[in-house]
Structure 1
Amino acid sequence: MLGIVQGLTEFLPVSSSAHLRVVGALMLDGQDVGATFTAITQIGTELAVLIYFRHTIVQVVRRWWATLPEIRAGGRWRNPLRLADPDARMGWLIIIGSLPIVVLGVLFQDAIEGALRDLRFTVFTLAFFAVLLWAADRWGRQVKSLKVLDGRDGIAFGLAQAMALIPGVSRSGGTITAGLAMGYTREAAARYSFLLAVPAVLGSGFYQLAKAIGGHSDGGLVVSGGATLLATAAAFVVGFVVIIGFLKIVSSRGYLPFVIYRLVLAGVLAILLLTGTLSPTV
């Protein structure tokens, strides 16, 4: 069940980590499945991204690798963001955009795995970032394509992605909101969001997997290896289907349905906390 939830929510701007936190608590008598389980199951959804965008990803990696000699041509370093090849430039932009989440993830690991998983804070982030997404979708200029993406915007996308380390923010929601606010089209913001997530999510997933194999616990519920593998597989299958539907929805209807959903979810979660149905912490 949790794998299906992960697959359904990972690519939507509704926060998969918040859903796993809430659904897990409802299913498991208030227990938190933990950041480790969340990160490992995200490997499944990112494998769906690798397959869906395989042609784009292969082309970006190939051109990025082929143009590496140009960066040091003639004994002088060249700005990689000024490369004429758009695919090679995209490779560098993904690397640059991935730096914030790596740095902040390491610096604030304890808070991410502990205090920031408080469901009262999740209520706030669900509602607050819903309003930001609505404002960006409503008033963003939506004229820029990924062809004009530069280093400054790449860092901004990366900082927005790093905010998703907090349950309730949403990785795709954060990056898409940032993209819309900077004037990118809905499709461009969503596409870069998918590509930018690949190294960060896979890196986090395999890092947490290695820690779990080594016996490290993040304080969450201990889930068996077989159950985690099954959840990851379910996340992959469901996630692949969701990618197709999500790209169609945002191109025709925008993000308002997801804004409404986030606000409703925040309200329901607040009621569950106020009535004592859920405990804010484990």
Structure 2
Amino acid sequence: MDWLQLVVLSIIQGITEFLPVSSSAHLILPSQLLGWDDQGQAFDVAVHIGTLLAVVYAFRHEVRAVVSGWTRSVVRREPNAEARLGWLIILATIPACIVGLVFEHQIEQYTRSMLVIACTTILFGVVLWYADEKGRRILPMESMTWRQGLLIGLAQALALIPGTSRSGITMTAALLLGFNRQDAARFSFLLSIPLILAAGGLKTIDLIATGADAHWSDMLWGIVLSFVSAFLCIKLFLSALDKIGMLPFVIYRLLLGAFLLFVAL
């Protein structure tokens, strides 16, 4: 992998992992337009590590409180708000894990085309606009019920279809359920931690099992660049979200989807 490819793919992964614009839609563009070869599984693991470290660091205080509270609730039977949030995150993670394990091969075989990605990019962009416009945007994350957590988790499972956007669909679900923009985004970002950890763990196991070559310098730079870009993206997104809303991302998704359709057809 040359230096330009490494930098571009690392930054794309870091930014699009958390914006509601679909990382899969963006990661196919360089290869399609520039003829780049697949970056390989080792590099995928590296950039996922970078984005995982970024979201954990960005929400380090919340993560520490949730882990501590959840541990106390399990060990000492001491219920608290942080433990409840931890259980909600676990509950909302289960649907995507089940769907991913059961339908992994079908998803890989039938949904990886540019046409599918173009259609889902447009479709779920429109749904995001509707949720942001029609949602009440008043509920705090602390008021989330088990039913609402499960519904957001079920929505997250849809993100296994390329072009959907994991962050986009979970924010969409939270907005439709009445949560405010900041807490919809915060829950989406916290929800990404176990899923990225699980996906990265599975890819690492597969990497070891297949004995694929790992270019350690590329992996190190991938981690660093994806970490920096993801961290800055999270901070800028949250600071601007209440001012700009979701409309700029909706418009971008529609334009991107139209371009992908043009290329695919």
TM-score in terms of structure 2 length: 0.90
The residue that corresponds to 1:277 in the other structure is: none
Q: Kindly indicate whether the alpha-carbon contact (under 8 Å) linking 1:40 and 1:206 is maintained by their aligned counterparts in 2.
A: no
Alignment partner of 1:237 is 2:243 = no
Corresponding residue to 1:61 among 52, 56, 67:
67
Q: Deviations over 1:141-165 (max 9, x none)?
A: 1111111111111111111111111
**What is the identity, as a one-letter code, of the residue corresponding to 1:57?**
V
1:158 aligns with 2:153: yes
Of 232, 236, 250, the match for 1:259: 250
Once the two structures are overlaid, the 10-residue window that deviates more, 108-117 or 158-167, is 108-117
Report 1:29-44 matches (<5 A). 29=36, 31-33=37-39, 38=44, 40-44=46-50
Distance in structure 1 (CA, Å) of the matches to 2:14 and 2:150 = 27
**CA deviation string 1:83-107 (max 9, x = no partner):** 4x11110011111111011101101
Change (3 A) 1:150 1:251: same
Per-residue CA deviation, residues 51-77 of structure 1 (Å, 9 max, x unaligned), is 111011001100111121455x9xxxx
Unaligned stretches of 5+ residues in structure 1: 74-82, 275-282
Partner amino acid, structure 1, of 2:29: V
- How far residue 39 of structure 1 moved from its aligned partner, in angstroms, is 5.7
Partner of 1:204: 199
Gap runs ≥5 in structure 2: 1-7
Closer, same or farther in 2 for the Cα pair 1:181/1:39, shift >3 Å? Answer: farther
Matches within 5 A, 1:115-134: 115-134=110-129
Partner of 1:76 in structure 2? none
Question: 2:164 matched to 1:175?
Answer: no
User: Following the alignment from structure 2 to structure 1, what is the Cα–Cα distance between the partners of residues 88 and 69?
Assistant: 13
Name the structure 2 match of 1:77: none
Q: 1: CA distance between counterparts of 2:46 and 2:95? A: 20
Deviation sequence 1:145-199 (CA, Å, 0-9, x none): 1111111111111111111111110010000000000000001100000001100
> Residue 11 of structure 1: CA displacement?
0.8
State the TM-score, normalizing by the size of structure 1.
0.85
Pick from 90, 108, 112 the counterpart of residue 113 of structure 1. Answer: 108
Partner letter of residue 136 of structure 1?
Answer: A
Aligned alpha-carbon RMSD (Å)? 2.1
Task: Write the distance in 1 (CA, Å) between the matches of 2:214 and 2:127.
Answer: 35
Q: Does 1:52 align with 2:58?
A: yes
Q: Quick one: distance in 2 between partners of 1:249 and 1:115?
A: 37
TM-aligned CA deviation for residue 233 of structure 1:
2.4
Cα distance in 2, alignment partners of residues 89 and 195 from structure 1: 13
Contact 1:105 1:165 in 2 (8 A): yes
**Which of 239, 242, 247 is matched with 1:248 structurally?**
239
Structure 1 letter corresponding to 2:231: F
1:14 pairs with 21, 39, 49, which one? 21
Taking structure 1 as reference, are residues 88 and 57 closer, same or farther at Cα in structure 2, changes over 3 Å only? same
